[in-house]
Amino acid sequence: MDARTPVVEVTSDNFEGLMNFTKPVIIDVYSNRCTYCRRLEPIIEDLSKELNLKYQFAKLSLDREPNLVNSFNVKGFPTVIFLKNGKELGRHVGYMNKQTFESEIKKYFGSSS
């Protein structure tokens, strides 16, 4: 997995590598039919460019990888999952603006962002 890629698409092929990634991982679980998921996408793109050196951002599609989405027990969209060393630290369900997203990152990973 390329650490320089701001946002990677999670697939069954790269999932294990993502779970073993050295940086904390932020996964956006989305559905193509979800309006709020589409509204969150540019915020994730911006944050991934700003914070790429500290965090690995990833996208997980319900439409392409339903089994992986089910393995996370996702109940609503969008769901953002915060992982460190392959372990879930927490999640946020629903849309959030950039300021709220940054607050969530600090809540789960500390204020060094």
CA distance 37 to 33: 8
* Residue located via tokens 């904390």: 24
Q: Domains of the chain (ranges plus CATH)?
A: 7-104 (3.40.30.10)
Is the four-CA dihedral 24, 30, 35, 36 of positive or negative sign?
Answer: negative
CA distance 16 to 102: 26
Q: What is the pLDDT of residues 10-34, one digit of tens each?
A: 999 999 999 998 899 999 999 999 9
Q: Which two tokens stand for residue 26?
A: 């932020």
The DSSP output letter for 94 is: S
Q: What is the pLDDT of residues 30-56, one digit of tens each?
A: 999 999 999 999 999 999 999 988 999
Question: Please, what is the average pLDDT of the chain?
Answer: 92
Q: Around 91, how many Cα atoms within 13 Å sit in the side-chain half-sphere?
A: 17
Note the pLDDT of residue 52.
Answer: 84
